[in-house]
A and B are shown apart, each in its own frame.
Chain A
C-alpha cells in the first residue's frame, strides 16, 4: 500500500546531541511537510518542500533544518536539541498541483534527556 513512513517511531537523544528523523513516501507526492506537535497541542508546521524548493516557516528556530535528497525521502535535522524540542514530529505529504488533502505518517516521538 502507498504510504508515508517515519523512522524511527521513538527516538531518544541527549541534550545538545544532533539527531536526524527520517520520512519516506511511496505516494510520489510533490510536497512534503514537517510538523512539530507538543503534548496536548496542535501540530505546528516547521517547513515544507515543494519538489526541491524549501520553504521555512517564519517562526521555525534555526536549530531545525531539513533535507530532501529525492522525491521519496525527507529528513529533519535538529542540530542541538534542547529539552523544549521534545515532541512528536509528524511528516505529511500532498500531491501538489492544487490538491488539498495531506497524508500523514505515524510520527516520531522525540525524547531529550
Chain B
C-alpha cells in the first residue's frame, strides 16, 4: 500500500519568513493533493498536481511535483499568521473510488 511521509512534522516560523514542507511517497504518485486543516476543523483543498515537474501557485503558496513523481513540496513565501494550521498531502490509490491516502500532516505555527 502507498505511504506518504511528510517532513517536518512541525514547524515554527516568524512572520515574513519563507518555509517548505515536503511530502515523499513510497510509490509513484498519480496525483498529489495538498490540504490545509485548522485545528478542530475540516480539510480545505489547496492544490492538486498530476504531472511530473508540475508547479502550481495560489497567492503565496506554491506546490511542486518532482519529475519522478515521488515527492512534492509546498512552499510558502512571506508567511503570515493566517497560514498557521496543519498541512496534509494526500494521494489517490487503492481500489476504492477516489480514495485518498494522507500523510501524517505538518503543523505550522507562525509567530507575529
Q: Which residues of A contact B (CB under 8 A)?
A: 4, 6, 31, 33, 40-43, 45, 48, 50, 55, 57, 88, 90, 92, 94, 96, 99-107, 109
Contact of B103 among A42, A55, A109 (CB under 8 A): A42
Set of chain B residues within 8 Å of A92, measured between Cβ atoms: 43
Q: Which residues of B contact A (CB under 8 A)?
A: 4, 31, 33, 35, 40-45, 48, 88, 92, 96-105
Among residues of A, the one whose C-beta sits closest to the C-beta of B3 is A42
Could you write out 19 A-B pairs with CB less than 8 Å apart?
A31-B97, A33-B98, A40-B104, A42-B4, A42-B102, A43-B43, A43-B102, A48-B99, A57-B96, A90-B42, A90-B43, A92-B43, A96-B98, A100-B31, A100-B98, A102-B33, A104-B35, A107-B40, A107-B42
Set of chain B residues within 8 Å of A45, measured between Cβ atoms: 96, 99-100
Given contacts A100-B31, A101-B33, A101-B45, contact A55 B97 (CB under 8 A): yes
Set of chain A residues within 8 Å of B45, measured between Cβ atoms: 101-104
Distance between B76 CB and nearest chain A CB, rounded to angstroms: 21
Shortest beta-carbon contacts, A-B, top 3: A42-B102, A104-B42, A104-B43
